[in-house]
Structure 1
Amino acid sequence: MRSCTRRNVFTVFENSFATTCCALVLVVVLNLFFTKHVFGQGAGFGAQAVGGISVDTDGIVRTINPQALASIAAQRKKILSANPPKTGQRCELQKVSLKRILEDVQRAVTEHDLVSPEVLTLGGLEQIEYVFVDPDAHDLILAGPSDEVAVDGNGSFVGATSGRPLLLLEDLVVALRSIDAARMGGMRCSIDPTPEGIARLQEILSSIKQMPNPQKIFRSMEEALGPQQVTVGGVPADTHFAQVLVAADYRMKRIGMGLESSEVAELPSYLSMVQATAGSTMLPRFWLEAQYSPIARDPDELGWKLTGGKMVCLTETDLLVREGMKRGSGRTDKNAALWCEQMTACYDDLASNKPVFRELMNCVDLAVVAALIDSRQLGDR
């Protein structure tokens, strides 16, 4: 019987994994306060304005390189024939068997034991570069750089050498379970003002005639907006995956506002770049969107290579009207666009200083792999 079909992945991970691994971290209810310059979030899928983080896995896996590459077939043959590297050490291309992962989880269930850190972190993988099908073994192989598993001061799994956050089995479980939900509108989060907050903001804006102290005015706007509404879509809100989406969006806004330093010289706050205008009703909105280069494959479609994965910061300007917030004006503020360019260019450096942004890319990698397995029915090969 195959161990890596979508059905088996779902039944084992949904039923067994949940009973043996530590409980998933609940999404923290955040009382978020933002000025008008980091108010709301980005354009979404179709006519829906999705805020914060936008991951369209279906769109990513539909973009396949039309030219099959023999080099991927050669890499697949090499990986499948090689002995697995020893765990507990740095490896530039570690192979991880999903069949073996399932067996280890099932064994832990049977023996009422804990799942090992190596299984919880998918063999210490830091990134997924390849997905290989092994029809003879009825297996799927994930391959990429890995490191010895360590735990940092926050209790998170990281590479002992690199210090990078490691991929998590629980995030792969969520990605696999959320394929259908994500297909309806992507994986996303949104942090938005309440109607009451918008009304208070309108009162402040209507009373402003001059801006002698823009930062003081911005702080007044921040207080007027009050707590924000946090919405998660495409993944269950009570999962680590969802927590990462919200946390990354939250940290991006704090950096944009200047409430938290990016620790990257080339990435100042958006607030430091903008000239406030009295009576302004134009509100820039920022979001991070996942993008990849076309996915490469071998001639038999048994080997797949992910390249060019990155988070791109985008912006659009919303209009504050009497009835509330009007999204999707189609306009772009030049300072907002410049800040987005810098955010995108500095993302890797930012992720080195703020691990949540690396965790976000880890979750996106796993979501793309899950969508690829499903759309190409790799588990049935």
Structure 2
Amino acid sequence: MPYQGLPLDRCFRRFAFGALVSCLMTVCASELMAQDSGLLYTRPPAVGGIAVNAEGVLSNATVDDTGRLARLMKKTLRPVPSDLAQATDMRMVSLRKLEEAIASAIEKGEPLSDEIRYLAGLQEIQYVFVDHESRDIILAGPAEGWAVNAKGAVVGVETGRPVMLLDDLLVALRTARPAMTEVISCSIDPTPEGLNRLREYTENLGPVADRRKAMASFKELLGPQKITVTVVPDTSHFARVMIAADYRMKRLGMNLDQSPVKGLPSYLQMLKTTGVGANDMFPRWWLEPRYESVTRSPDGSAWELHGASVKTMTEADFFNAAGQREQSVEANPVAKAWADNFTDKYDELAVADPVFGQLRNCMQMAIVAALIVKEDLAGKAGYSLPTLLDPTDVEIEKLPAPKQVDSVVSSLKVNRNDWLVSTSGGVSINSYAALQQVKENASLAAVREKATGKQSTTWWWN
């Protein structure tokens, strides 16, 4: 008997949906915005692959937008000094001397150099040292020379990994204390009104054979979705990166974008392959930081953050009759398998799609900022980071705040009785949670002595 369509009242109950939001991916705006302080330059057409208009509506960046951004970036980027172009496993950045370099540029009315804005090509913060003699805090990790890739992101010449940005570090440091009581996060969610409209629609309609028409109705009924950002300014590049990475993850999961790495099928493709149908629950995926270990020296003046990565978490949501999230429960096995695979492929994704690498950088900086506050490293160093912490000295870039995005529905017939419509989720950075399990490592004292013992006239050294 030919398939005649699925009754939509059953369809609604068996959907794993929650409309997928086309959030704008934003590529490195902090690399191009101009203000009187010289920190920021020319506003780019897109950041991280998404765009936000003046009304705060997100949309997917076009190929032309991304191409124009890459061309603009290449024109404004200065050649990397030869001593910085050398790749190294350990580059030190002095926060005291970095502040002095920033203050000097501002006093002279000069724009901040690429070296400052890209933190000397630092790509990971693996160590944090307190230098008591110099009254300083030193960040250290792998670094290399940088260039603009085809997507307009500033990445390492050899590895292709995004470099860390001063602008994101400023946001992390300035929000570290509020992050003690509230998790840094972003989420994109359907409104209760939209969910109710869709529920009423499905309860009053019978079988529907025209899948395309049904999907269009779902999109219209769900309406715009709300974008929420906590702790960090919603106008910041940091916030834009969180939203962009969340958006890209959802599009990959819902089969709307082709995976840039091998071995990462979409969630919908996995459902079809396994023959497992969608259930009553709303699958939700979110990204959060993870470390293999955090260790410190006996005196607490040297810290190592080892094995930084990003983990994809999942659960399923139920919504009540009022359209409110009522409870979350364990996700179905396929949703969990997709999340685990996304976690396993994250390092590859961080190079293939730079926004994932940028998100990892932001997470690391948030955790380092939390470490500085939690362990009072500034107090131990005898230096309060006045320039980096004062928003009047160095302003962060301001982008249009993302407020909403149109619902985008993706469907795939899994079996005779199942359709699937997108997911919900977000990014969650509990920056203090990573510091709860700390082990002592006596060998870190020697690493610190070697890192701080080299005299340097610049704010960075290898």
Task: Using structure 1 for the length normalisation, give the TM-score.
Answer: 0.75
Give the SS at the match of 1:136: coil
Aligned to 1:265: 262
Q: Which amino acid aligns with 2:327?
A: G
> 5 Å matches for 1:103-252?
103-207=100-204, 220-252=217-249
Change (3 A) 1:313 1:330: same
Change (3 A) 1:351 1:213: farther
Change (3 A) 1:258 1:18: farther
Q: Which amino acid aligns with 1:301?
A: G
Looking at structure 2, the residues matched to 320 and 375 of structure 1 have their Cα atoms a distance apart, in angstroms, of 37
Aligned to 1:20: 38
Deviation string, structure 1 residues 300-331 (Cα, Å, up to 9, x no partner): 21111001222111112112332113243323
1:163 offset after TM fit, Å?
Answer: 2.3
Deviation string, structure 1 residues 36-70 (Cα, Å, up to 9, x no partner): xxxxxxxxxxxxxxxxxxxxxxxxxxxxxxxxxxx
> 5 Å matches for 1:276-295?
281-295=280-294
Change (3 A) 1:278 1:341: closer
Tell me whether 1:299 sits opposite 2:298 in the alignment.
yes
Looking at structure 1, the residues matched to 201 and 308 of structure 2 have their Cα atoms a distance apart, in angstroms, of 42
> 5 Å matches for 1:41-52?
none
1:279 offset after TM fit, Å?
Answer: 10
Q: Which amino acid aligns with 2:197?
A: R
| Structure (1 or 2) with the larger CA radius of gyration | 2
Aligned residues: 314
> 5 Å matches for 1:67-78?
none
1:112 offset after TM fit, Å?
Answer: 0.5
Deviation string, structure 1 residues 80-119 (Cα, Å, up to 9, x no partner): xxxxx93222112111111111011000011111111111
Higher helix share: 1
Aligned to 2:370: 371
Task: Using structure 2 for the length normalisation, give the TM-score.
Answer: 0.62
Q: Which amino acid aligns with 2:159?
A: S
Change (3 A) 1:214 1:87: same
1:351 offset after TM fit, Å?
Answer: 1.6
Taking only the aligned residue pairs, the percentage that are identical comes to 40
1:242 offset after TM fit, Å?
Answer: 0.5
Looking at structure 1, the residues matched to 285 and 178 of structure 2 have their Cα atoms a distance apart, in angstroms, of 24
Give the SS at the match of 2:259: coil
Aligned to 1:346: 345
Q: Which amino acid aligns with 1:309?
A: A
1:209 offset after TM fit, Å?
Answer: 5.8
Give the SS at the match of 1:340: helix
Aligned to 1:91: 88
Q: Which amino acid aligns with 1:313?
A: T
In the alignment, is the contact (CA less than 8 A) between 2:288 and 2:312 conserved in 1? yes
Give the SS at the match of 1:238: coil
Tell me whether 1:254 sits opposite 2:251 in the alignment.
yes
Give the SS at the match of 1:123: helix
Looking at structure 2, the residues matched to 350 and 225 of structure 1 have their Cα atoms a distance apart, in angstroms, of 30
In the alignment, is the contact (CA less than 8 A) between 2:319 and 2:327 conserved in 1? no
1:217 offset after TM fit, Å?
Answer: 5.2
Structure 1, gaps ≥5 residues long: 1-16, 34-84
Give the SS at the match of 2:37: helix
Q: Which amino acid aligns with 1:367?
A: A
Looking at structure 2, the residues matched to 31 and 157 of structure 1 have their Cα atoms a distance apart, in angstroms, of 23
Looking at structure 2, the residues matched to 30 and 145 of structure 1 have their Cα atoms a distance apart, in angstroms, of 37
Looking at structure 1, the residues matched to 95 and 322 of structure 2 have their Cα atoms a distance apart, in angstroms, of 52
> Which range moves more in the overlay, 85-94 or 246-255?
85-94
In the alignment, is the contact (CA less than 8 A) between 1:210 and 1:278 conserved in 2? no
